[in-house]
Amino acid sequence: MSRLVEINFDGIVGPSHNYAGLSLGNIASASHGGDPSFPRAAALQGLAKMRGNMERGLAQGFLLPLPRPNAGLLERLAVDAGSDRALLAAAWSASSMWTANAATVSPAPDTADGRCHLTPANLVTMLHRAQEWPDTQAQLKIAFGDERHFKVHDAVPPSFGDEGAANHMRLTESHDAPGVEVFVYGRPGGRFPARQHEQASRAVARLHGLDPQRCVFIEQSPVAIEAGAFHNDVVAVANETVLFAHEQAFADREDAYEALLAAFPKLHAIEVPASAVSLEEAIRTYLFNAQLVSQPDGGMALVVPGECWESESVRGWCEEMLATNGPIREVIPVDVRQSMANGGGPACLRLRVVADPATVDARFLLDEAKAQRIEAVIAEMWPERIDPADIGTERLAHSVVEAREALLSVLSLGELA
């Protein structure tokens, strides 16, 4: 008997984690460009978040850092000593840690063939991310290799930018029931790029065999993109019947909610007004880039960055929300400061997959024994600090490659070497 649950697959922060400021429109990333980074602390913070979710009884998986530096990319770009440093830094990027951009996932109850479908995101808008999808797909094909239960597609052609689950939400009465899938796209023309193309979203829906009557396509607010919401998950997150969003998340707010209610009448929208939390403060603290999860004992929890608890307006609004005794019963701050400084909160770090854990390759599912093995490798092998001048050096390259190989070895995933 199949037991469908939501599994969060977090990206293990890679040993080359650095602040190169490569992501146009990501204000946190740009503002920390050139700062020293602390890969060991970043990876341990991410692991602690995963452990916290396991302790709450949630199913937890992980995806591994991709091979870095990417020698193939450097060769194709003919990077030499006179090249723009950003080209070199792109080949060292650890941005695959944000697995919300790894793929778009449609669970089996939503699809025509009754399998869970996954389409890797092509991430073509940014060079440092566009290199990811073939290696990401290789992991997905191992983790979700049982073709009786999963179908892993190729990425959408690069004519249309696709940034994965960061621009996708699902509304359903319960994770194992049929759902309504919500695709949020941007329109080009603003100061910052709109990374999710409408036609990419529509192609993914067709690839996954979704019922058109159970799909909603919504335009993201240009105002939100201009303010630094480079993905929808910076201003909105959904879980089961609940949509938690900022008032300025969508281009046409009234039409968006009308379409959502028409497709999913049981929608429970929790909207944060700009008068309570400004768009700028929501983006600075990543209030909406949170994990909204169903707790095993009932009710939902919102796992937010610690920065939210340090903001008077955000914390005040959260405390008022909790006092209403609505569906979100708990707000849990976590420390992911190293990820936050590069523009990714708790939601960026995870890909949600509704599946029976028994059908997933067990090597990608976390338990305490694996967590201890991962932690030991990180503590011993991950660089403690990377300065911008370290990028491109033989010393750091050797350290990064050796660290990743050690992790693959303790997890028996040598085929990804």
- Annotated active-site positions, please? 163, 231, 348
Q: What share of residues in the chain are helix, strand, coil (percent, to 5)?
A: 40, 20, 40
Report the alpha-carbon distance of residue 168 to residue 252 in Å, rounded: 17
What count of residues does the chain have?
Answer: 417
| Tokens describing residue 236 | 């909105």
Adjacent-strand bridge partners of 143: none
Report the alpha-carbon distance of residue 176 to residue 141 in Å, rounded: 22
**Residue 210 neighbours by CB distance under 10 Å:** 20
What's the distance, CA 297 to chain centroid?
25
Pinpoint the alpha helices (H) of 77-211: 85-90, 127-130, 133-143, 198-207
Report the alpha-carbon distance of residue 36 to residue 386 in Å, rounded: 6
| Residue that has been written with the tokens 């009557």 in this structure | 213
Q: 68 near 13, Cβ under 8 Å?
A: no
Among the listed residues 287, 269, 268, 270, the one whose alpha carbon sits nearest the alpha carbon of residue 278 = 287
Q: 6 near 175, Cβ under 8 Å?
A: yes
Report the alpha-carbon distance of residue 181 to residue 30 in Å, rounded: 32
What is the Cα Rg of the chain in Å? 20
Burial class (CB in 10 A: 0-12, 13-18, 19+), 113: exposed
| CA angle at 357 for the pair 55 and 306, rounded to the nearest 5° | 35
Among the listed residues 29, 349, 288, the one whose alpha carbon sits nearest the alpha carbon of residue 165 = 349
